[in-house]
Amino acid sequence: MQPRLWLLLAAQLAGLLSSCAHQQTPGSLMVQTNQKVTMTCETKTSLSNKRIYWLRQRQAHSKDSHHEFLVSEDFSKNITYGRGVTQRTLALLRSTTRFTLSLMHVKPEDSGVYFCMTMGAPELIFGTGTSLSVVDVLPTTAQPTKKTAPKKRVCPSSSPGTRQGLHCGLVTLSLLVASFLLLLLSLAVAVHLYCLRRRARLRFIKHVVCACRKWATCFQKEIPGSRGLQG
């Protein structure tokens, strides 16, 4: 492969790890089969002269999981569709800083994490991702069960003021413990999602590098043949 191409790919990989992500909304949603789904991608700067890409990562994470190319659109509204994707299955809308992807008549196999992406000079910038889950029947909300409060044990030797202070202290301690556990759970989920998205982006870069290697090899093989014909 030519040195300039290697430098370009290295710069893109470095930009991928340091660039600020585009903001996507909603972060996650669950819909029924055959419904329409709309998600947006907002950028901090104007991208009126750049192409926007939409990618999908299947919900099941494995070693072979990667980003699937769905569609792209340039500033002239020239649209390129991925394999098996047509204008009947999705629609695009763009402005200078806001891009919208609409999926028509979604099915369970459309479930996954959807990313918007732009190619800068030289960085690749991904969106924060929109997790889509398509189900035939939406889950019902379980009715909360009523719990009977246990009777408080009254200590004959304690005064009313002492009993009230002890009860308030236990309630405060329980709330603090519950808040701490909830914070730990949220942190664990955030770290797990970050690791999954980072691995997926690195695999995407690896696929791009392999494709460029194959292209460069074929290009070098074609050059001697072209010179022979000119002679």
Domain regions of the chain by residue span: 3-136+183-223
Decide: 58 and 68 in contact? Cβ < 8 Å: yes
Residue 58 pLDDT grade (very low, low, confident, very high; cuts 50, 70, 90): confident
Average model confidence (pLDDT) across the chain: 78
Strands 90-94, 28-32: pairing is: unpaired
> How far is the C-alpha of 51 from the C-alpha of 127, rounded, in Å?
14
Residue range 128-144: average pLDDT?
84
What pLDDT score was predicted for residue 218?
79
The proportion of the chain whose per-residue pLDDT surpasses 90, expressed as a percent, equals: 25
Secondary structure string (H, E, C) spanning the chain = CCHHHHHHHHHHHHHHHHCCCEEEECCEEEEECCCCEEEEEECCCCCCCCCEEEEEEECCCCCCCCEEEEEEECCCCCEEECCCCCCCCEEEEECCCEEEEEECCCCHHHCEEEEEEEECCCCEEEECCEEEEEECCCCCCCCCCCCCCCCCCCCCCCCHHHHHHHHHHHHHHHHHHHHHHHHHHHHHHHHHHHHHHHHHHHHHHHHHHHHHHHHHHHHHHHHHHHHHHHC
208-226 pLDDT, tens digit each: 888 888 887 877 776 665 4
Asked whether the beta carbons of 132 and 112 are under 8 A apart, the reply is: yes
pLDDT per residue as tens digits for the range 4-33: 333 344 344 444 444 567 899 999 999 999
What predicted TM-score, i.e. pTM, was given to this entire model?
Answer: 0.52
The residue assigned the tokens 């301690």 is: 173
For residue 117, which of 159, 69, 66, 169 has the smallest C-alpha distance? 69
Q: What is the mean pLDDT of residues 31-51?
A: 89
pLDDT for the residue 231: 46
The bridge status of strand 98-103 relative to strand 90-94 is antiparallel
Give the homologous superfamily in CATH for domain 3-136+183-223: Immunoglobulins (2.60.40.10)
Phi, psi at residue 86, to the nearest 5°? -130, 170
* pLDDT level of residue 72 (50, 70, 90 thresholds): very high
Quick one: pLDDT at residue 220?
Answer: 76
Give me the pLDDT at residue 17, please. Answer: 42
State the pLDDT confidence band at 124, using cuts at 50, 70 and 90: confident
Q: What is the pLDDT of residues 98-114, one digit of tens each?
A: 999 999 999 999 999 99
At residue 154, the pLDDT reads 60
pLDDT tens digits for range 186-211: 888 888 888 888 888 888 888 888 88
